[in-house]
Amino acid sequence: MSRDRAGVDLHPAAEALQQRLGYRFVKPALLHEALTHRSAAYQNAGGRRRSQKTKGAGSNERLEFMGDRVLGLLMAEWLLERYPDEQEGALGSRLAHLVSRNTLAEIADRFELAGYLTVAAHEARVGVQATASVVADALEAVLGAVFLDGGLDPARKIVRQAWKPMLDAQARPRRTLKLRCRNGFWRGGRFCRFMKQ
């Protein structure tokens, strides 16, 4: 295991993840933190109970908080560029899908993020690092780490490359819903009533 300048042990595969992301960290400790599940942070602290104030310290939770906001901002910016004639409701629906747990987990799987996560041994035995919520949270944490390390531009580059197939696919759903309504598949559903107006 290599160490960064602050003496933090880096995951052996951190180099490979940086290549997948297309971004090299100036402060690799941020990437280390982004890849540390709270169970590993708790285990590393000797299993001691933490106060509410320090709960989650050393884990990726704070970076996840940041990454969630970074992703929301970058995605809103991109949606406004891509769909200049759409109003808030349609943009909001697109945004909700693009930042959903399922979408995040799918993108995290493309990065093979589960293989880079550090979790407590007992959690690893049951495969917690591969669950949708854990990899989705880790992806947000990685985006938060990229933002704190290099700013919005590298985070934007990662988001636009990783989410492009999803955003391109969104050009079709509205038409598909209209066709389903016309064919009766969604008859009586909220989507049909909305689409017929």
Among 10-14, 41-45, 61-65, 165-169, the minimum mean pLDDT is found in: 41-45
* Residues designated as active site: 68, 140
CA dihedral 20, 23, 28, 33 (to 10 degrees): -60
Domains of the chain from N-terminus onward:
14-172 (1.10.1520.10)
Question: What was the pLDDT predicted at 130?
Answer: 79
Greater pLDDT, 4 or 161: 161
Model confidence, pTM: 0.76
SS3 content of the chain, % helix, strand, coil (to 5): 65, 0, 30
What value does the mean pLDDT take over residues 117-146?
A: 85
